């Protein structure tokens, strides 16, 4: 089960763009990237391409982070139980 979050979050990323750590109700260090994919945004609403990462943190949490390639910002989209 997952919970929709959709909040901007600060993210520290590697040179290749993959997240290393992010802040959401505390700091979370990424242990590994479970999946990564690109999505085309809703162009009719002005959204561009996005890179999405499903990550597992060192504490065992699973989160989905979205990087907007046009705006160059991060959003925490989901928190998995």
pLDDT given at position 43: 72
Residues 6+ apart with CB under 8 A from 40: 49
Query: What's the rounded Cα separation, in Å, for the pair 7 and 10?
Result: 10
What value does the mean pLDDT take over residues 16-39?
A: 97
Q: Please tell me the pTM assigned to this model.
A: 0.90
Query: What's the rounded Cα separation, in Å, for the pair 11 and 7?
Result: 12
User: What is the band of 47 on the pLDDT scale with cuts at 50, 70, 90?
Assistant: confident
Query: What's the rounded Cα separation, in Å, for the pair 38 and 76?
Result: 15
Q: Where are the domains of the chain?
A: 2-80
Sign of CA dihedral 2, 5, 6, 11: negative
- 69 pLDDT higher than 90: yes
- 44 pLDDT higher than 80: no
- 48 pLDDT higher than 90: no
């Amino acid at each position: 089960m997952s919970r929709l979050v959709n909040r901007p979050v600060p993210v520290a990323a590697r040179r290749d763009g993959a997240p290393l750590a992010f802040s959401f109700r505390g700091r979370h260090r990424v242990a590994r990237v479970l999946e990564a994919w690109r999505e085309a945004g809703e162009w009719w609403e002005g959204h561009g391409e996005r890179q999405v990462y499903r990550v597992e943190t060192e504490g065992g949490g699973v989160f989905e982070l979205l990087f907007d390639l046009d705006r160059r910002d991060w959003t925490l989209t989901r928190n998995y139980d």
